[in-house]
Amino acid sequence: MTMGVKGGMKCVKYLLFFFNFIFWLCGLALIVLGVLVQVALHSTVVINNVSASSAPVVLIVVGVIVFFIAFFGCCGAWKESYCMVTMFAILVGLIIVIEIGAAIAGYVFRGKLTVIVHDGLNDMVTKYGNGTAEFKKALDDLQVDLKCCGVTNATDWIGKLGSVKDSVPDSCCINVTAGCGQGAMGDALKIHQTGCETVVEKLLKKNIMWVIIAALVIAFLQIMGIIFACMLMGGIRSGYEVM
């Protein structure tokens, strides 16, 4: 190899190591994000749809895979191992294919988001009267935190809280106090008029946008990783041929 080629391959080596380190951090971030989403779903139990509840598990699994593959790539780049770098490039290529499938599944899920949120919230409101204290607290916390009431509006609580038809849970109140929801369904000055469906859907769509942005960043790093891996593989092979 000439000095220029050697210097270029050394630069590629360090660039591959750098991108893999960032890729490794992304994998760690996916694991943390998956755990946080899993905890959030269990604490609010708004969406009990199988495809939605499995999403954080998928994030954690993908994060673990990315974490180890990036670590593998870092070692391969640092040691200038042709086999390790080649395996890294193949594994990243497979991840990209899997991610394309996940993106299609995510697009389908996004189209069903309104139905999933509506069904989940409607089920919670229906079961509220006979639910456990923990179940009631989950929905109460949701209504307090998001400043909403019912699924589409406060009238969703008609007949759900016993004999008093125009009552809502105290968590619907603008200023939450004991008994503030009794007979207050039609009072716009006392209770929130916005349904939780609209607020939850808006919040989820906002979070999905952040996930899409994160996915694009990771995809860019993966493609750059494959390019640098192929360049380093060529450099290593040329080095062996010269020797």
**Domains of the chain listed by start with CATH number:** 3-114+226-242 (no CATH), 115-196 (1.10.1450.10)
Residue 243 confidence (pLDDT): 36
Task: Show the low-confidence residues of the chain (pLDDT under 70).
Answer: 1-9, 37-56, 59, 106, 110-111, 162-164, 239-243
Are the C-beta atoms of residues 69 and 88 closer than 8 Å to each other? yes
Positions of E strands within 26-73: none
Quote the CA–CA distance of 127 and 99 in Å, as a whole number. Answer: 37
Residue 201 confidence (pLDDT): 83
Return the structure tokens found at 105.
């599944």
Q: What own/partner pairs with CB < 8 Å and gap ≥ 24 does 75-84 have?
A: 76/229, 77/13, 77/14, 77/16, 77/17, 77/20, 77/229, 77/232, 78/13, 78/17, 80/13, 80/232, 80/236, 82/233, 82/236, 82/237, 82/240
Residue 241 confidence (pLDDT): 40
Residue 163 confidence (pLDDT): 62
Quote the CA–CA distance of 100 and 113 in Å, as a whole number. Answer: 20
Residue 2 confidence (pLDDT): 41
Are the C-beta atoms of residues 109 and 144 closer than 8 Å to each other? no
Residue 172 confidence (pLDDT): 94
Residue 4 confidence (pLDDT): 40
Return the structure tokens found at 112.
């069903």
pTM of the model: 0.56
Quote the CA–CA distance of 99 and 223 in Å, as a whole number. Answer: 13
Residue 50 confidence (pLDDT): 45
Are the C-beta atoms of residues 59 and 78 closer than 8 Å to each other? no
